[in-house]
Structure 1
Amino acid sequence: MTSSTTREELRLQGFDLIDENLSFLISCLADALESLGETDLIPYLPWTGTVPEGELPEGTQQLYSVGFQLLNMVEERVAAAIRREREKELGADSIRGLWPRALKDMTESGLKPDEIIDVLSTVNVQPVLTAHPTEAKRSSVRERHRALYDQLVRSEYPKYTERERRRLRERMVTALETLWRTGEIHLVRPDIYRELRDAIHYLRDLFPAALNRLDLHFTEAWRDAGFPLETLREAGNVPVLSFGTWIGGDRDGHPLVTPEVTDTALGMLRRAALQLLHRELTQLASHLTLSRHLNDVPEEVETRIDELAFVLDDEEIANDLHHRVGEEPWRHLASLMAARLEKQVNGAPGYESPEDLAADLKLISDSITANGCTLIEEQHLRPLRQKLEIFGFHLATLDVRQNSEFHDQAISQLLAAAGIEDGENYGSWPEEQRVEFLNKELKSTRPFLHDGLQAGEQADLVLDAYRVLTMHLDEYGPDGLGALIVSMTRQLSDLLGVFLLAREAGLMIRTDEGLVCPLEVVPLFETMDDLERAPGILDAFLSHELVQRRQADEQQVMLGYSDSNKDCGILTAAWALHRGQQNLSEVARKHDIKLRYFHGRGGTISRGAGPTHWFMAALPHGSMNGGFRMTEQGETIAQKYANLANATYHLELLLAGAAITTAQHRQPQGPVDPAEEFLPELSKASQEAYQQLLRSDGFIEFYREVTPIDALENSRIGSRPARRTGKKGHSIADLRAIPWVFSWTQARFYLPGWFGVGTALESLRNEQPERFAKLKQEFRGSTFLGYTLTNVETNLASANLEVMEQYSSLVQDPELRERFMTIIVAEFNRTRDLLADLYDADIHTRRPRMAKTLDIREAPLRVLHQQQVDLLREWRGLVQAGKDHEAEALFPRMLLSINAIAAGLRTTG
């Protein structure tokens, strides 16, 4: 049997498994509905062969939403099952993006084990969990999903008896009953603490177990590659994985993230880290049942037991442990450590630092290894020591982000309060004047104002937030504190101004050479113009004495994938980001410093999403130095990490992808990109078409009527406002990229993810046919253009012309509707046809797996879209008539409609 035949058979096997498992779950849902007395909904169950006609009963939206949730669950589970089958049939290295393939690729490139270790020692990956308004499901719904998923996994066991299978089905039906009666949508906007508790669930309760599997997968791949395990173990914890979060620190356009919130968030993260370590230590103790009569107990272990029993200051616990586990000294020691941590969780004194706890773990590790128990050390001690390195006492680093305009307002207020001439107009000073002033001021260590004096609302908020960070530094050190990120960085003074504010708050450290900021100041380049200016800004920043004084060998730079796309369209934004990284990396090489890019990718393709390993493969050569940060936003956290198998898979993609990309980027010269010569003109033509549409008279009015943007602005999906400034005006510039994409997605336009690409390709084909032929012949050798056009094609396939026409009926002005729909439909057809021409085949032929997942969703989605159009029309009519009470009463159905369609499309914003 050939490999290609096997791959095709595995694909078809996956399709059959989806149909089989989905049919089973839908039949369980039917039983649950019957049990609950909802029998009128049973004939309308999706994927049962019946097509609903006429007026649908109340509850259909929820029915379809739950149906899609089950389908998503099935697809995740089947994907994991087919990966296992593929490994059995074709070998572990047949799965692109995972460790076996990455190690094979590095070996084939000529790297020896010690050289691979050298690469891995530079790899430092950090997913950053954020809480943008994209997660439409409540946390209690996700808990029900986990319960269902567990039952689905159990159902795969082939040797159950008939009674056991019946019992399993009954548990499924019970879980679906609970899900049906669990409120699905947020009727009250979630607060920041709830968002943080959701993130902590993944960090504390799910990722540690995934790390165990991840480490095992890597160890097995290393051994299977024929490499010596001792070489890997001597290198320590490589590659490095850690976690970050913005929840409680991201105050860009989020007025509810106050200094008090940041302080509470840091405390919640620290407490959760201690809880994690207490749980892990308790589990470790249960494995350390080594008797003192069968092993040599070093004096250091006995001494440490006595010391911990004394400092625990709890005679009852100490005596209980002595009597229960005194004959098992290592268990005794681990139990005392756990008891000490438990008290620390509740506010009592305990371990001062992770290093102190690590010393006790090392004592256990060394002493049981000396007794020959190397497997116990390998399987139980080493993973815990690794988790301590990863999570510390902080769980995740908390970045603090604020907009440059907000900083300008804060500095203006500060200067005005200090009596600086024209200080109140600082925001409008020319850049040369700002830089000259900041350079002069930053030579001094004195603040402008005495502690306790207020300068103004924005100044006080920034300074108080920095004071929270200062107190955390003084009490706990830098662990847990991330970077000071400046969104919408436009010029050098936007970064230097942060140092001035930090000095005022006491966040700067005095040295003999001058002030030093203990936290990294990070530019965030978002718009196309900012990306073009970015290399000059970074060059000046890295040349500045305040930055050089930190003596760091790495500088973080954040790139925004959302606003750049909203600004100029998908192709132009992708190219601007690609060129920006090339130019920024060149600046870093000039300064002999590594750049660690922080990719602000959203949950949709229009906001930078796409398969992680393909995304890394498409990065410009030389831009990956091992360090890699990436936002994980909203619903993508649950999609990637809600269950153990999926979480392990996606974390492995991140680590293995970063390793192989770093190895490739170490080569002096990368492969020549055959599409690069075409991209400037394609980008220009695409941008012109996209911006011409957005700037056309009447477009904003059309957009606000053809999409449910007004409903999204009134939704309770996340804690963050839909607009940066809070204004209710009709400005696309002020609208956040998330609701911009979310609204086009709900109406099935997916417009930000493809518009302009067809015009660009057509202009090349019509004006320079010989160059278009050359592009067609060579573009598949371009990782960048191949990745970008594949994403565009995915958006096109997800869009639906018939559904677009349904939503266009909401546009009240017929001329406006006709004018813009003609433009949009023409560009849609143009883009689809040009891509089919480039690839010599349509997407259904080339990507059957994606076609399957889209086709299976289409019939129920059409029903939901028609319902949403009718609801929007009714709701808007009530709002316009001033019937606010009736409009508010109807709104929960609107939210449920948004949620159901989001579940069906597996995406929001």
Structure 2
Amino acid sequence: MTDILDPPPARDEKDRPLRDDIRLLGRLLGDAVREQEGADVFQLVEDTRRAAIRFAREGRAEDREALHVLLDPLPPDTMLSVVRAFSYFLQLANIAEDTHRGRRRRAHEVMGSRPREGTLEFALEMVRQAIGNDGLAQERLTAFFRSALVSPVLTAHPTEVQRQSTLTVMQQIATLLEQRDRMVLTGEERTESDALLTRLVLTLWHTRIVRGERLRVVDEVKNGIAYFRSTFFTEVPRLHANLEDLLSAQFPGSTWQLTPFLQPGSWIGGDRDGNPFVTADVLHETLRLQASATFDFYLQEIHALGQQLSLSRTLHAVTPALEALAARSPDTSAQRLDEPYRRALSGIYARVASTMSGLELPPPVRAALGSGEPYASADALYDDLVIIRDALTTTGVGLLAAGRLRRLLMAVQGFGFHLAPLDLRQNADVHERVVTELFAQAGVCDNYAALDESQRVALLARELEGTRPLHSPHLRYSEEVAGELAIVFTAARLRQRYGASALPHYVISKCDGVSDLLEVALMLKEAGLATGGQQATLGLDIVPLFETIADLRRAGDTMRAALALPVYRALLRTRGDVQEVMLGYSDSNKDGGFLTSGWELYQAQTALMQAFGDAGVQLRFFHGRGGSVGRGGGPSYDAILAQPAGAVTGQIRLTEQGEVIASKYATPDVGRRNLELLVAATLEATLTDHESGADQVTAFRPVMERLSAHAYAAYRALVYETPGFAQYFRESTPLAEIATLNIGSRPASRKPSDRIEDLRAIPWVFAWAQCRCMLPGWYGFGSAVTAWLVEQPDGLPVLQRMAQHWPFFRTLLSNVDMVLAKSDLRVASRYSELVQDETLRRTIFAAIEAEWHRTRDALRQITGQDQLLADNPLLVRSMANRFPYMDPLNHLQIALLQRHREHVASGTAPDDLMRRGIHITINGIAAGLRNSG
């Protein structure tokens, strides 16, 4: 039987299991296509596959023409079947790839290989080597973990194309593949496993891949919570426990009990910037859903512990504290009178269930044996569990506390009653309008918006020093102002209900001055989340987000001025003199191109560190990275180690966005690996001299400054100064279709406009990825290097030394290498044909093509490598497995876009199959690229 979507031959015997998995999943998908859609559709998919592989490998015109002949005449229903086949294959190939990575990791561990880069073992080894003295290393590590924070923050964006239903089936397929890999199956077991896998693939084929309606914010919240259920609930405590064991083994005689520092966070349901659908009611529902998931997990684990801890007092001693805890239990069954642990856990279960009732959460599936007093806080629940742990430990059976109970204790410490810290975020322009109206209604200032920055700061400082409120329930406010005030008042109530950790941060988008910080402080003061006067307090971290190139350049001065302001510094002291600053990778890239964005982000960190050091305030960076290189993406481990020396001081937050969340955290094994990478990188960046050779870096800075200037000029010349570029972009990419289809709850633009400036950075990058151009991830680099070498004819060795000795520049080159390899100008040229103006099309695509070749040539000169990804064979393998099957999707997307736009232009309503087809191609191409949003 011919296999549908056959992978290329394995280049290495180690990769044979990967090839076998892809062949198996491809065969099962092919069987589903043939049985459900018919032999003709199956053969069409097979013929398309062969033509696509030939085109991918040889790029011949006749193979491209073969795709035209096969696909262009197809009726919508058949076209949809072909699109679904290739899209699902790419999803299945990703599952096989992730399974194989886990397989290879386990193989290395079984063989006892040296710790690999990115593992906790490797990081601890690097720390010990860097510090030398074991006593000092232990001291430094103890100090590190005392204040450590590593927080990946989940965000929902318009690139999130996965449905929870398909994710669930794919998670089941991944689990089954892993089980098959780890177990030796009998013939009967193999038959049963094959049958289950067949059913799962068939279910996937009949599961709707696209949404019928636009995603609501609450749907996005539920999707985010699903990753806690699948990964974070189990893997975060497991990683903490593993790290404690590693530290105890490396430093014999020491006992390590880490406060959970790995804290996944979320923006979903609290991020209002550009999303009018995030309201006070949505915020309330978000916290309710998060809490409900948390309590469900706790009850499940408490029940399981009750089943495990069947110890009888007739055989085992009991501590007085445990005896008292058991005595308070509503469980009076005679069968369990001699089982104090079970009775104690039944009592804890009843108290947790009562707590849920008091919070108006859905009742537990398994009812409690009786009523109990609600817990006032997660700390109180933790204290009861500690009684059980201590009883086991002090009576000689501490080993029984080392598994599920240990991990539950860590979970309660880390997740509390709120699941994840939820960030509030809004644009500074909105805050300005709110404060303007508050001042005007209260008779303080007729037109705050008309004041200059110094006048604003002076007025805001006076108000923050006082205690009077500005808001009155007896006054009528505009809809916008009423909505924003409702958010902060609701936040105050929710913090009382779920704890202060539930809503700890307020992020200010487009922050460009001290007044932006003070405006938020004033709004928080109205809700009692900040107080003025002599007893100044601040309940939330106010987090400025510097996004544009200009804002990044001013960031150091802006924060220096804020820290020098007595009223703000007084508020900051109540936050422990810790200030978080967020850096925006996406908008700075759209503003100035990827190279200038990266350099200005690096320089902003340096300037901010100097300002905070002078003020004696601790600085924590929050990196607003996207999935793609064009939005600050790329491997997280390398990105953290590429930060300036001193920028990662044991604490870091960074966003995880779009489809990247699914690729990183959909399964426990893959999720654990990605969490470990973040922790390992933070350890190394904080406690080792990762940016060695400070003198060399100082010498490299002027070079980078010139490269940035040249890249900025080239990028701005194309994107903002070339007449008709916005038209070219909108017509040559599926931007409009991304904006109008049911992908996410957030609008694609911040305001109704065709300007690039008003477009959100996420669809800007995502649209370029769909057409395989990937322009935001590389454009300008070739021109920069070419221009600099004209200025410095003998300068190539300097660039080569920068690549060898400077992690920042080395990571930049690695990301350019990856993006160039993932781009395909042959495919991009076909998208350019969607542009109606032939002169515009030729002019702009010629500029893009020329810069691509300049960039590739510059990369070759610096690295000395003739082939892209010469030092990344794993990515080469991954792309070889997936990329040939993206070409048919691109081809069909173009055909569907042409038909769709013709319908729109003629005023005819587009066919529903056509809409769904476009959406599925978006899904499939994003799956093939894996980091496109």
Q: Distance in 2 between matches of 1:514 and 1:176?
A: 63
- TM-aligned CA deviation for residue 307 of structure 1: 2.5
- State the AA in 2 paired with 1:542: L
Tell me the SS of whatever aligns to 1:549: helix
- TM-aligned CA deviation for residue 326 of structure 1: 2.3
Tell me the SS of whatever aligns to 1:479: helix
Stretch of structure 1 that moved more, 11-20 or 533-542? 11-20
Distance 1:397 1:435, change over 3 A: same
CA contact (8 A) 1:275 1:345 kept: no
What residue is the counterpart of 1:251 in the other structure? 272
Q: Distance in 2 between matches of 1:500 and 1:589?
A: 27
CA contact (8 A) 1:399 1:482 kept: yes
Q: Write out per-residue CA displacement over residues 176-219 of structure 1, whole angstroms, 9 at most, x where no aligned residue.
A: 11000000012211111111111112224431211343235324
The answer to whether 1:693 aligns with 2:718 is: yes
Aligned pairs for 1:92-103 within 5 A: 92-93=114-115, 95-103=116-124
Q: Distance in 1 between matches of 2:334 and 2:718?
A: 78
CA contact (8 A) 1:556 1:595 kept: yes
Aligned pairs for 1:545-564 within 5 A: 545-550=566-571, 551=573, 552-564=576-588
Q: Write out per-residue CA displacement over residues 220-258 of structure 1, whole angstroms, 9 at most, x where no aligned residue.
A: 53355x322x5242xx22561112111111000110101
Tell me the SS of whatever aligns to 2:620: strand
CA contact (8 A) 1:488 1:524 kept: yes
Distance 1:41 1:376, change over 3 A: same
- State the AA in 1 paired with 2:584: G
What residue is the counterpart of 2:63 in the other structure? none
CA contact (8 A) 1:204 1:395 kept: no
CA contact (8 A) 2:637 2:678 kept: yes
CA contact (8 A) 2:820 2:868 kept: no
CA contact (8 A) 1:764 1:772 kept: no
Distance 1:476 1:42, change over 3 A: closer
What residue is the counterpart of 2:561 in the other structure? 540
What residue is the counterpart of 1:456 in the other structure? 478
- State the AA in 2 paired with 1:307: R
The answer to whether 1:154 aligns with 2:196 is: no
Q: Distance in 2 between matches of 1:812 and 1:830?
A: 27
CA contact (8 A) 2:238 2:407 kept: no
The answer to whether 1:106 aligns with 2:131 is: no
- TM-aligned CA deviation for residue 771 of structure 1: 1.7
2:101 pairs with one of 79, 82, 85: 79
Distance 1:19 1:204, change over 3 A: closer
Aligned pairs for 1:470-869 within 5 A: 470-509=492-531, 513-550=534-571, 551=573, 552-664=576-688, 672-673=696-697, 675-695=700-720, 696-725=722-751, 727=752, 729-841=753-865, 842-869=867-894
Stretch of structure 1 that moved more, 652-661 or 541-550? 541-550
Q: Distance in 2 between matches of 1:269 and 1:572?
A: 39
Distance 1:714 1:853, change over 3 A: same
Tell me the SS of whatever aligns to 1:231: coil
Stretch of structure 1 that moved more, 262-271 or 211-220? 211-220
Q: Distance in 2 between matches of 1:668 and 1:75?
A: 35
CA contact (8 A) 1:508 1:518 kept: yes
Q: Distance in 2 between matches of 1:825 and 1:30?
A: 37
Stretch of structure 1 that moved more, 40-49 or 673-682? 40-49
What residue is the counterpart of 1:436 in the other structure? 458
Tell me the SS of whatever aligns to 2:655: strand
What residue is the counterpart of 1:872 in the other structure? 897
Q: Distance in 2 between matches of 1:790 and 1:305?
A: 59
Q: Distance in 1 between matches of 2:113 and 2:196?
A: 36
Stretch of structure 1 that moved more, 806-815 or 204-213? 204-213
Q: Write out per-residue CA displacement over residues 143-162 of structure 1, whole angstroms, 9 at most, x where no aligned residue.
A: 01011112211221452122
CA contact (8 A) 2:240 2:260 kept: no
1:237 pairs with one of 258, 272, 281: 258
Distance 1:11 1:323, change over 3 A: farther
What residue is the counterpart of 1:350 in the other structure? 374
Over aligned residue pairs, what C-alpha RMSD do you find?
2.2
Stretch of structure 1 that moved more, 450-459 or 643-652? 450-459
The answer to whether 1:400 aligns with 2:417 is: no
What residue is the counterpart of 1:340 in the other structure? 351
What residue is the counterpart of 1:4 in the other structure? none
- State the AA in 2 paired with 1:473: R
Aligned pairs for 1:290-329 within 5 A: 290-309=311-330, 318-319=331-332, 322-329=333-340
- TM-aligned CA deviation for residue 788 of structure 1: 0.8
Q: Distance in 1 between matches of 2:25 and 2:496?
A: 54
CA contact (8 A) 1:14 1:79 kept: no
5+ long unaligned stretches in structure 2 = 1-8, 53-65, 72-77, 360-372
Tell me the SS of whatever aligns to 1:628: strand
Distance 1:111 1:283, change over 3 A: farther
1:274 pairs with one of 280, 295, 306: 295
What residue is the counterpart of 1:312 in the other structure? none
- TM-aligned CA deviation for residue 17 of structure 1: 2.8
- State the AA in 2 paired with 1:267: R
Stretch of structure 1 that moved more, 811-820 or 354-363? 354-363
Tell me the SS of whatever aligns to 2:466: coil
Q: Distance in 2 between matches of 1:839 and 1:826?
A: 20
- TM-aligned CA deviation for residue 548 of structure 1: 2.5
CA contact (8 A) 1:624 1:665 kept: no
Tell me the SS of whatever aligns to 2:322: helix
Stretch of structure 1 that moved more, 214-223 or 176-185? 214-223
Distance 1:151 1:204, change over 3 A: closer
Q: Distance in 1 between matches of 2:170 and 2:415?
A: 27
- TM-aligned CA deviation for residue 111 of structure 1: 4.8
- State the AA in 2 paired with 1:323: A
Tell me the SS of whatever aligns to 2:348: helix
Distance 1:515 1:880, change over 3 A: same
Distance 1:82 1:449, change over 3 A: closer
What residue is the counterpart of 1:314 in the other structure? none
1:55 pairs with one of 70, 80, 87: 70
Tell me the SS of whatever aligns to 2:402: helix
Percent identity at matched positions? 33
- TM-aligned CA deviation for residue 623 of structure 1: 0.9
The answer to whether 1:283 aligns with 2:304 is: yes
Stretch of structure 1 that moved more, 841-850 or 179-188? 841-850
Q: Distance in 1 between matches of 2:325 and 2:617?
A: 44
What residue is the counterpart of 2:23 in the other structure? 23
Q: Write out per-residue CA displacement over residues 793-828 of structure 1, whole angstroms, 9 at most, x where no aligned residue.
A: 111111111101111111111110111011110000
Q: TM-score, with normalisation over the residues of structure 1?
A: 0.93
Distance 1:260 1:301, change over 3 A: same
The answer to whether 1:12 aligns with 2:38 is: no
Q: Write out per-residue CA displacement over residues 371-398 of structure 1, whole angstroms, 9 at most, x where no aligned residue.
A: 1011112223322211111001111111
Q: Distance in 2 between matches of 1:683 and 1:167?
A: 59
Q: Write out per-residue CA displacement over residues 108-132 of structure 1, whole angstroms, 9 at most, x where no aligned residue.
A: 1115233322223232111111111
Q: TM-score, with normalisation over the residues of structure 2?
A: 0.91
2:405 pairs with one of 369, 375, 381: 381
Q: Distance in 1 between matches of 2:285 and 2:799?
A: 55
Distance 1:46 1:219, change over 3 A: farther
Q: Distance in 2 between matches of 1:92 and 1:275?
A: 40
CA contact (8 A) 2:626 2:655 kept: yes
- TM-aligned CA deviation for residue 270 of structure 1: 2.1
- TM-aligned CA deviation for residue 97 of structure 1: 1.1
Stretch of structure 1 that moved more, 846-855 or 668-677? 668-677
Q: Distance in 1 between matches of 2:107 and 2:437?
A: 63
Distance 1:165 1:428, change over 3 A: same
